[in-house]
Structure formats: C-alpha cells, structure tokens
Amino acid sequence: MVAFAGRKYAARSIPVMVSDNTHTITKYTLVLEFQHGTLQNLFWRSFGCDSCSGDSSICLKNQDCAVANSKCKSNGGSVDCSLAIQLTFSGTDKNLEALNSWFELKNFRKHSLYKLYSDVMDSLPDLPK
C-alpha cells in the first residue's frame, strides 16, 4: 500500500501482493490520478502478461508477471527479483492539461530493454552490480 497526505487531501492505494511462498512479482505500475492538479487517487495498474518473457517469467491470474522464488538470486537462482515500480500520471494539472503517461506505459513495457540489460550484466560476472 502507498499513501499520501496533503494539507486538504489524502490518497492511498489498495494493498498488492509482491511476494508469497512460491512467487515474486517484480514490476508494478503506480498511477497517480489528479484532478485540477490535486491528487485524488493512487491505484495499481496491471497490463496483463504481454510483457512476460523468458523462461523465468510466468503469468499469475492473467494480470501479473512473476518469478518462481526458487529462481531468485536471493534463493540461489539466477534471476534478479528486485522490485521495480513505474510511476505514471493521469487526470489533469492545475491548467486542465491532460496527464496521461499511464496510457503510453503499456508500449514502453512491451519494448523495454531491461531484459537485454539484465542478460548482458549476468553474462559479465566480474563486473560489480
């Protein structure tokens, strides 16, 4: 759960699962929803399992990519299971200009270079990570 409290307004997200006994979800998107520049809501956005890739990712409940805990580096595996949160915005700013970065994030995640970077770093064991 994430929360914010301002002078007049407060917002909080619902809790989400990051890890259980068998799986770890490593990527989340948090959307900050504004109305006239005032934060109204915080919510977690799921883009389905289109961005799940490789042998290490599986799809949980048709909405989140996850890694088996046994494959995480912290458990002796080869996958970095660090949590990544992408922050996006929706709604309008104080000038009523649209904030819609969450809309473009699905394409960003689909074409991300994270997997390529991770594979390169894993292939160079002598470099500090």
Instruction: Say how far apart CA 26 and CA 72 lie, in whole Å.
Output: 10
Average pLDDT on 107-129 reads 60
Q: What is the pTM of this model?
A: 0.71
Any idea how long the chain is? 129
Q: For residue 104, which phi and psi values (nearest 5 degrees)?
A: -85, -10
pLDDT at 14 over 90: no
Residue 52: its pLDDT value, please?
76
Residue 95: its pLDDT value, please?
95
Instruction: Say how far apart CA 72 and CA 76 lie, in whole Å.
Output: 7
Confidence of residue 48 (pLDDT cuts 50, 70, 90): confident
Average pLDDT on 107-128 reads 61
One DSSP character per residue, 90-103 reads EEE-TT--EEEHHH
- The amino acid present at 75, given as its one-letter code, is N
In the block, tokens 């970065």 appear at: 101
